Amino acid sequence: MDRYVVIGNPVAHSKSPQIHRRFAAQTGESLSYDTLEAPLDGFAASVAAFVAAGGRGANVTVPFKEDAFRLATQRSARAESAGAVNTLRVEDDGSLYGDNTDGAGLVRDIEHNLATAIRGRRVLLLGAGGAARGVILPLLDAGAAELCIANRTAEKAVQLATLADDARVQGGGYAELAGAFDLIINATSAGLSDQTLPLSATVFAPGALAYDMVYGRSTPFMQQAQAAGARVADGLGMLVEQAAEAFVVWRGVRPDTAPVLAALRQS
Protein backbone atom coordinates (compact mmCIF):
# COMPACT_ATOMS: atom_id res chain seq x y z
CA MET A 1 0.00 0.00 0.00
CA ASP A 2 1.40 3.43 -0.94
CA ARG A 3 1.82 5.74 2.05
CA TYR A 4 0.81 9.41 2.18
CA VAL A 5 0.70 11.88 5.08
CA VAL A 6 -0.15 15.44 5.95
CA ILE A 7 2.80 17.06 7.73
CA GLY A 8 2.23 20.02 10.05
CA ASN A 9 2.58 21.25 13.62
CA PRO A 10 0.03 20.99 15.09
CA VAL A 11 -1.65 18.55 12.72
CA ALA A 12 -4.00 16.38 14.79
CA HIS A 13 -6.97 18.60 13.83
CA SER A 14 -6.38 18.15 10.07
CA LYS A 15 -9.31 17.01 7.93
CA SER A 16 -6.95 15.77 5.19
CA PRO A 17 -6.91 12.10 6.33
CA GLN A 18 -10.74 11.96 6.21
CA ILE A 19 -10.76 13.56 2.77
CA HIS A 20 -8.03 11.44 1.17
CA ARG A 21 -9.31 8.17 2.65
CA ARG A 22 -12.70 8.95 1.10
CA PHE A 23 -11.04 9.75 -2.25
CA ALA A 24 -9.10 6.45 -2.11
CA ALA A 25 -12.22 4.40 -1.32
CA GLN A 26 -14.15 6.11 -4.10
CA THR A 27 -11.45 5.67 -6.80
CA GLY A 28 -10.24 2.21 -5.68
CA GLU A 29 -6.68 3.52 -5.21
CA SER A 30 -4.69 1.43 -2.74
CA LEU A 31 -3.12 3.88 -0.29
CA SER A 32 -2.91 4.82 3.36
CA TYR A 33 -3.09 8.42 4.62
CA ASP A 34 -2.16 9.63 8.10
CA THR A 35 -1.03 12.71 10.00
CA LEU A 36 2.66 13.32 10.71
CA GLU A 37 3.60 15.96 13.26
CA ALA A 38 7.12 17.25 12.56
CA PRO A 39 9.08 19.15 15.23
CA LEU A 40 9.15 22.88 14.47
CA ASP A 41 12.89 22.66 13.73
CA GLY A 42 12.77 19.21 12.15
CA PHE A 43 10.73 19.33 8.94
CA ALA A 44 13.52 18.15 6.58
CA ALA A 45 14.51 15.28 8.88
CA SER A 46 10.87 14.15 9.21
CA VAL A 47 10.43 14.14 5.43
CA ALA A 48 13.72 12.25 4.95
CA ALA A 49 12.63 9.57 7.44
CA PHE A 50 9.22 9.29 5.76
CA VAL A 51 10.84 8.88 2.31
CA ALA A 52 13.35 6.32 3.66
CA ALA A 53 10.42 4.30 5.02
CA GLY A 54 8.85 4.19 1.54
CA GLY A 55 6.49 7.20 1.71
CA ARG A 56 5.13 8.32 -1.67
CA GLY A 57 3.78 11.80 -1.02
CA ALA A 58 2.74 14.40 1.50
CA ASN A 59 0.49 17.37 1.98
CA VAL A 60 2.21 20.14 3.86
CA THR A 61 0.42 22.54 6.16
CA VAL A 62 1.21 25.33 8.64
CA PRO A 63 4.02 26.20 9.35
CA PHE A 64 6.05 24.18 6.84
CA LYS A 65 4.92 25.27 3.35
CA GLU A 66 8.01 27.42 2.80
CA ASP A 67 10.34 24.70 4.15
CA ALA A 68 8.73 22.30 1.68
CA PHE A 69 9.35 24.81 -1.11
CA ARG A 70 13.07 24.86 -0.27
CA LEU A 71 13.26 21.06 0.07
CA ALA A 72 11.70 20.24 -3.32
CA THR A 73 14.30 19.84 -6.07
CA GLN A 74 11.69 20.30 -8.83
CA ARG A 75 8.71 22.66 -8.55
CA SER A 76 5.61 23.48 -10.60
CA ALA A 77 5.07 27.01 -11.95
CA ARG A 78 2.22 27.54 -9.47
CA ALA A 79 4.52 26.55 -6.57
CA GLU A 80 7.18 28.98 -7.84
CA SER A 81 4.59 31.75 -8.02
CA ALA A 82 3.21 30.95 -4.54
CA GLY A 83 6.70 30.70 -3.00
CA ALA A 84 5.27 27.76 -1.06
CA VAL A 85 4.59 24.04 -1.52
CA ASN A 86 1.56 22.24 -0.09
CA THR A 87 2.00 18.97 -2.02
CA LEU A 88 5.16 16.85 -2.21
CA ARG A 89 5.46 13.84 -4.50
CA VAL A 90 8.29 11.37 -3.99
CA GLU A 91 9.69 10.48 -7.42
CA ASP A 92 11.00 6.99 -8.28
CA ASP A 93 14.59 8.14 -7.69
CA GLY A 94 13.63 9.45 -4.22
CA SER A 95 13.76 13.13 -5.21
CA LEU A 96 10.93 15.49 -4.26
CA TYR A 97 8.58 17.27 -6.66
CA GLY A 98 6.79 20.24 -5.09
CA ASP A 99 3.46 21.68 -6.17
CA ASN A 100 0.93 24.13 -4.73
CA THR A 101 -2.70 23.16 -5.22
CA ASP A 102 -4.33 25.83 -2.98
CA GLY A 103 -5.04 28.30 -5.78
CA ALA A 104 -6.37 25.66 -8.16
CA GLY A 105 -8.60 24.44 -5.32
CA LEU A 106 -10.00 27.92 -4.76
CA VAL A 107 -10.64 28.50 -8.46
CA ARG A 108 -12.36 25.14 -8.87
CA ASP A 109 -14.56 25.71 -5.83
CA ILE A 110 -15.64 29.12 -7.12
CA GLU A 111 -16.16 28.16 -10.76
CA HIS A 112 -17.43 24.60 -10.41
CA ASN A 113 -19.07 24.19 -7.00
CA LEU A 114 -20.33 27.76 -6.65
CA ALA A 115 -21.00 28.18 -10.39
CA THR A 116 -19.47 31.65 -10.40
CA ALA A 117 -17.40 32.98 -13.31
CA ILE A 118 -14.00 34.56 -12.65
CA ARG A 119 -13.26 35.45 -16.27
CA GLY A 120 -13.85 39.14 -16.96
CA ARG A 121 -14.66 39.94 -13.31
CA ARG A 122 -13.27 42.52 -10.89
CA VAL A 123 -11.69 40.60 -8.04
CA LEU A 124 -10.70 41.90 -4.60
CA LEU A 125 -8.23 39.83 -2.62
CA LEU A 126 -7.96 40.69 1.10
CA GLY A 127 -4.69 39.79 2.83
CA ALA A 128 -1.12 39.44 1.67
CA GLY A 129 0.12 36.37 3.55
CA GLY A 130 0.94 32.93 2.16
CA ALA A 131 -2.67 32.06 1.30
CA ALA A 132 -3.16 35.27 -0.70
CA ARG A 133 0.12 34.88 -2.56
CA GLY A 134 -0.76 31.31 -3.55
CA VAL A 135 -4.00 32.25 -5.30
CA ILE A 136 -2.82 35.23 -7.39
CA LEU A 137 -1.52 33.34 -10.45
CA PRO A 138 -4.47 30.88 -10.56
CA LEU A 139 -6.96 33.81 -10.37
CA LEU A 140 -5.14 35.60 -13.22
CA ASP A 141 -4.98 32.38 -15.24
CA ALA A 142 -8.74 32.00 -14.70
CA GLY A 143 -9.18 35.32 -16.53
CA ALA A 144 -9.84 37.89 -13.78
CA ALA A 145 -10.19 41.29 -15.49
CA GLU A 146 -8.71 43.11 -12.51
CA LEU A 147 -7.19 41.91 -9.25
CA CYS A 148 -6.91 44.37 -6.34
CA ILE A 149 -4.99 43.19 -3.30
CA ALA A 150 -5.71 45.02 -0.03
CA ASN A 151 -3.85 44.39 3.20
CA ARG A 152 -3.62 45.87 6.71
CA THR A 153 0.12 46.28 6.10
CA ALA A 154 -0.27 47.99 2.73
CA GLU A 155 3.39 47.54 1.65
CA LYS A 156 2.96 43.75 1.63
CA ALA A 157 0.06 44.06 -0.82
CA VAL A 158 2.13 46.39 -2.99
CA GLN A 159 4.99 43.87 -2.92
CA LEU A 160 2.71 41.02 -4.02
CA ALA A 161 1.34 43.15 -6.85
CA THR A 162 4.87 43.99 -8.00
CA LEU A 163 5.83 40.31 -7.85
CA ALA A 164 2.80 39.36 -9.97
CA ASP A 165 4.11 41.62 -12.74
CA ASP A 166 0.73 41.82 -14.50
CA ALA A 167 -1.04 45.03 -15.50
CA ARG A 168 -4.32 43.69 -14.05
CA VAL A 169 -2.93 43.60 -10.49
CA GLN A 170 -2.78 46.48 -7.98
CA GLY A 171 -1.92 46.45 -4.29
CA GLY A 172 -2.50 48.81 -1.38
CA GLY A 173 -4.29 49.44 1.89
CA TYR A 174 -8.02 49.19 2.72
CA ALA A 175 -8.41 52.98 2.68
CA GLU A 176 -7.43 53.13 -1.00
CA LEU A 177 -10.15 50.72 -2.16
CA ALA A 178 -12.45 52.23 -4.78
CA GLY A 179 -15.44 50.88 -6.66
CA ALA A 180 -17.36 47.64 -6.41
CA PHE A 181 -16.08 44.08 -6.93
CA ASP A 182 -17.82 40.96 -8.31
CA LEU A 183 -15.72 38.57 -6.27
CA ILE A 184 -14.26 39.40 -2.85
CA ILE A 185 -11.91 36.80 -1.39
CA ASN A 186 -10.88 37.01 2.25
CA ALA A 187 -7.41 35.46 2.57
CA THR A 188 -6.73 37.05 5.97
CA SER A 189 -6.78 35.15 9.23
CA ALA A 190 -8.89 37.92 10.85
CA GLY A 191 -11.97 35.66 11.01
CA LEU A 192 -10.18 33.16 13.23
CA SER A 193 -10.19 35.74 16.04
CA ASP A 194 -13.58 37.28 15.10
CA GLN A 195 -11.96 40.52 13.93
CA THR A 196 -13.77 42.83 11.52
CA LEU A 197 -12.06 44.16 8.39
CA PRO A 198 -12.37 47.88 7.58
CA LEU A 199 -14.54 47.34 4.48
CA SER A 200 -17.23 49.63 3.14
CA ALA A 201 -20.48 47.96 2.03
CA THR A 202 -19.89 49.53 -1.39
CA VAL A 203 -17.08 47.06 -2.27
CA PHE A 204 -19.75 44.37 -2.77
CA ALA A 205 -21.21 44.76 -6.29
CA PRO A 206 -24.81 43.62 -6.83
CA GLY A 207 -24.73 39.82 -7.12
CA ALA A 208 -21.17 39.63 -5.72
CA LEU A 209 -19.74 36.47 -4.22
CA ALA A 210 -17.89 36.94 -0.91
CA TYR A 211 -15.56 34.04 -0.19
CA ASP A 212 -13.82 33.51 3.16
CA MET A 213 -10.94 31.01 3.10
CA VAL A 214 -11.61 30.32 6.77
CA TYR A 215 -14.13 27.49 7.27
CA GLY A 216 -16.26 26.01 10.00
CA ARG A 217 -17.50 29.33 11.39
CA SER A 218 -19.43 32.42 10.42
CA THR A 219 -16.85 35.23 10.35
CA PRO A 220 -17.43 39.00 10.70
CA PHE A 221 -16.44 39.26 6.99
CA MET A 222 -19.26 36.86 6.03
CA GLN A 223 -21.68 38.85 8.16
CA GLN A 224 -20.58 42.15 6.57
CA ALA A 225 -21.00 40.63 3.10
CA GLN A 226 -24.43 39.20 3.91
CA ALA A 227 -25.59 42.54 5.26
CA ALA A 228 -24.46 44.14 1.98
CA GLY A 229 -26.54 41.62 0.00
CA ALA A 230 -23.66 39.44 -1.27
CA ARG A 231 -23.68 35.65 -1.62
CA VAL A 232 -21.34 34.09 0.93
CA ALA A 233 -19.13 30.98 0.92
CA ASP A 234 -16.59 29.57 3.37
CA GLY A 235 -13.29 27.83 2.53
CA LEU A 236 -14.34 24.20 3.07
CA GLY A 237 -14.80 23.69 -0.67
CA MET A 238 -11.30 25.05 -1.29
CA LEU A 239 -9.91 22.60 1.26
CA VAL A 240 -11.57 19.63 -0.46
CA GLU A 241 -10.67 20.84 -3.97
CA GLN A 242 -6.99 21.46 -3.15
CA ALA A 243 -6.92 17.92 -1.77
CA ALA A 244 -8.45 16.55 -4.99
CA GLU A 245 -5.82 18.41 -7.00
CA ALA A 246 -3.07 16.86 -4.82
CA PHE A 247 -4.66 13.42 -5.38
CA VAL A 248 -4.34 14.02 -9.14
CA VAL A 249 -0.66 14.99 -8.72
CA TRP A 250 0.03 11.74 -6.86
CA ARG A 251 -2.28 9.22 -8.51
CA GLY A 252 -3.25 10.69 -11.89
CA VAL A 253 -6.93 10.17 -11.01
CA ARG A 254 -9.46 12.94 -10.24
CA PRO A 255 -11.88 12.04 -7.43
CA ASP A 256 -15.48 13.28 -7.32
CA THR A 257 -15.41 15.98 -4.63
CA ALA A 258 -19.17 16.55 -4.28
CA PRO A 259 -19.97 13.58 -1.96
CA VAL A 260 -16.85 14.23 0.12
CA LEU A 261 -17.71 17.91 0.58
CA ALA A 262 -21.30 16.98 1.47
CA ALA A 263 -20.10 14.44 4.07
CA LEU A 264 -17.72 16.98 5.64
CA ARG A 265 -20.47 19.59 5.79
CA GLN A 266 -22.72 17.13 7.60
CA SER A 267 -20.09 16.23 10.16
Of 100, 188, 219, 257, the one binding ligand NDP by CB under 6 A = 188
Bridge-based pairing of strands 55-60 and 87-90 is: antiparallel
Tell me, residue by residue from 41 to 80, as one string, x for binding to ligand NDP by CB under 6 A and - for no binding: ----------------------------------------
Identity of the residue numbered 112: H
Question: 55 or 127: whose CB is closer to ligand NDP?
Answer: 127
Question: Are residues 171 and 159 in contact, defined by beta-carbon separation less than 8 angstroms?
Answer: yes
Shortest reach from residue 263's CB to ligand NDP, in Å: 17
Give the residue closest to ligand NDP by C-beta: 129
Question: Are residues 55 and 250 in contact, defined by beta-carbon separation less than 8 angstroms?
Answer: no
Identify the active-site residue in 65, 78, 122, 133: 65
Tell me, residue by residue from 217 to 256, as one string, x for binding to ligand NDP by CB under 6 A and - for no binding: ------------------x--xx--x--------------
Is 65 a catalytic site residue?
Answer: yes
Of 67, 99, 102, 182, the one binding ligand NDP by CB under 6 A = 102
Burial group, residue 68, by CB count within 10 angstroms (0-12, 13-18, 19+): buried
Of 67, 156, 181, 246, the one binding ligand NDP by CB under 6 A = 156
Contacts of residues 213-216 at CB distance under 8 Å and 24 or more positions apart, as own/partner, are 213/106, 213/131, 213/185, 213/186, 213/187, 213/238, 214/186, 214/189, 215/239
Q: Does 162 participate in binding ligand NDP (rule CB under 6 A)?
A: no
Instruction: Look up residue 174 and give its DSSP letter.
Output: G
Of 155, 216, 222, which Cα lies nearest the Cα of 185? 222
Tell me which residues touch ligand NDP (CB under 6 A): 102, 127-132, 151-153, 156, 187-190, 192, 195, 197, 213-215, 235, 238-239, 242
